[in-house]
Amino acid sequence: MKKIVLLAALFLLLSILFFLLFLNFLDDSLDNYSWTKAICNKTHCQDYEIICDGKEIVTQAPITGAVIKISDTLEDLRDEKNKKEYCD
């Protein structure tokens, strides 16, 4: 009888531990996301894949072939927040 109680308690403890670790994993994964953003200078715009963890940039990598030459008269209609911020 003592073995059954001990095994049941051990199983319950391991189940709770697994459940807590699983919830922590889900919570962390909701903060990680990626998206693309055009980053421009005076002559070219390059698309980048930006991976964020909350409001922090994890990586920022240019997308191969996603670059265009722009004219001097092109006006970027994005507001300053969208131009400067990478992770919301």
Residues 26-84 have pLDDT tens digits of 555 557 888 899 888 888 999 999 999 888 889 999 999 889 998 888 888 888 877 77
**Structural domain count, the chain:** 1
Neighbours of 38 (CB within 10 A): 17
Please provide the size of the chain in residues: 88
pTM over 0.75: no
Q: Which domain holds residue 51?
A: 2-84
Helices (H), 32-47: none
Which candidate, 40, 50, 47, places its Cα nearest to that of 83? Answer: 40
